Amino acid sequence: MKTRVYVTLKGGVLDPQGKAIHNALEGLGFSGVNDVRAGKLIELDLADNVGEADVDAMCRKLLANTVIENYRIERA
Amino acid sequence: MKSAVVVFPGSNCDRDLAVALAQVTGRDPVMLWHRENEIPQGTDIIAVPGGFSYGDYLRSGAMAARSPVMRAVAEAASRGVAVLGICNGFQILTEAGLLPGALMRNAGLSFVCRDVKLSVGTSQSIFTSRYEEGETVTFPVAHHDGNYTADPETLDRLEGEGRVAFRYAEQVNGSARSIAGVLNDAGNVLGMMPHPERVIEAAHGKTDGLRLFEGLVETVTA
């Protein structure tokens, strides 16, 4: 089963990469971009017996650093 | 006095650290490959070196922090063995949960590789006993992800408990409260982004880092 894990920086955490992307977009003439936050998408191909709790544990133990990142699990 | 240096695929400061430890302890450290499950009995100091372990995949230090040897390092740290993580070693120690906070991409986005001035945050630690609190020292830095981040309560606690070992005395990477190195609550684990092992002999141009290793050996032996 395909499962997607979205890893994003927590709200209060400054995102230097997002800021650089924002600046580059403005440099290209795209106006109206209020903010940019960059994150990661991790795609997992899982056996049927792998449950939601297992994926949550994967996120907490490795895929996200919960000091600075949030994660969201999306099962296909 | 027995010391050990952990080596991951992609470590590149392991030999510099080995030279520094050999110089102050009088014997070569054990080099511990990342697949090792045990720290040799009687090890007094474990050093986690700089570099780009596992190619910095996922996050700097993330893969290394989950390697077999780091479970053994965590166990040794819980017994009070001194653990020193430098640069990527600092990133690994935070990822492993042995130190609070996280190291993010430098605020300026650039890799920073130069000498920087640091202020010694405390002399009350096994790592900094040979420095004066507030003293300025110069160590090189070489990192892309050295921007120290933690929640405000954690930062207050680190400052209140005298656990900020080193601060940047100039703008380097955007670190919260200019933190360059922090101690764990027991005081036997230090992580720092600057490289003391690169300034230990006259040929390096500076020797400010030597006192860290000398002080560590002195306090651990005492």
Interval A18-76: pLDDT, tens: 988 999 999 999 999 999 999 999 999 999 999 999 999 999 999 999 999 999 999 87
B106 contacts A67? CB cut-off 8 A: no
A:B CB pairs within 8 Å: 35
CA-based nearest distance A58→chain B, Å: 12
Q: What percent of chain B has pLDDT over 90?
A: 97
> Is the pLDDT assigned to residue B94 strictly greater than 90?
yes
pLDDT band at A17 (very low <50, low <70, confident <90, very high): confident
Give pLDDT, residue B108: 86
For B102, phi and psi rounded to 5 degrees? -150, 160
Distance between CA atoms of residues B201 and B207, nearest Å: 5
B94 contacts A67? CB cut-off 8 A: yes
Domains defined along chain B, listed by start = 3-221 (3.40.50.880)
What is the distance of C-alpha A44 from the center of its chain? 14
Q: How many CB atoms lie within 10 A of CB B131?
A: 23
The domain tally of chain A equals 1
Among candidate residues B203, B38, B168, B23, the one with its CA nearest the CA of residue B6: B38
Residue B87 annotated to the active site: yes
Give pLDDT, residue B199: 97
CA angle B97-B67-A75, nearest 5°? 80
Helix axes B14-25, B210-221, angle to 10 degrees: 50
Give pLDDT, residue A1: 87
Contact B87, B193 (CB under 8 A): yes
DSSP state of A66: T
pLDDT band at A12 (very low <50, low <70, confident <90, very high): confident
ipTM for the whole complex: 0.86
Sign of the Cα torsion B89, B91, B94, B99 reads positive
Residue B13 annotated to the active site: no
Contact B57, B65 (CB under 8 A): no
B102 contacts A65? CB cut-off 8 A: yes
pLDDT band at B28 (very low <50, low <70, confident <90, very high): very high
User: Which residues, in sequence order, are bridge partners of residue B33?
Assistant: B7
CATH number at residue A13: 3.30.1280.10
Q: Which residue range(s) make up the domain with A68?
A: 2-75
Distance between CA atoms of residues B163 and B174, nearest Å: 19
Identify from B91, B105, B148, B182 which residue to disrupt to test chain A contact, counting A C-beta atoms within 10 A and taking the largest count. B105
Interval B44-74: pLDDT, tens: 999 999 999 999 999 999 999 999 999 999 9
Report pTM: 0.95
Distance between CA atoms of residues B174 and A31, nearest Å: 27
Q: Which of A16, A63, A67 sits opposite B105 (nearest CB)?
A: A16
For A64, phi and psi rounded to 5 degrees? -120, 150
Q: How many CB atoms lie within 10 A of CB A27?
A: 8
Give pLDDT, residue A38: 93
* Amino acid identity, position A8: T
What residues of A are in contact with residue B101 (Cβ under 8 Å)? 67
Interval B104-137: pLDDT, tens: 999 988 999 999 999 999 999 999 999 999 999 9
Distance between CA atoms of residues B186 and B46, nearest Å: 16
> Is the pLDDT assigned to residue B162 strictly greater than 90?
yes
Among candidate residues A18, A3, A11, A5, the one with its CA nearest the CA of residue A69: A11
Residue of B197, B201, B214, B218 marked catalytic: B197
Give pLDDT, residue B67: 95
Residue B195 annotated to the active site: yes
Which ranges of A1-76 would DSSP assign to H, the alpha helix? 16-27, 52-58
Q: Does the beta carbon of A57 lie under 8 angstroms from any beta carbon of chain B?
A: no
The two structure tokens encoding residue A61: 């133990």
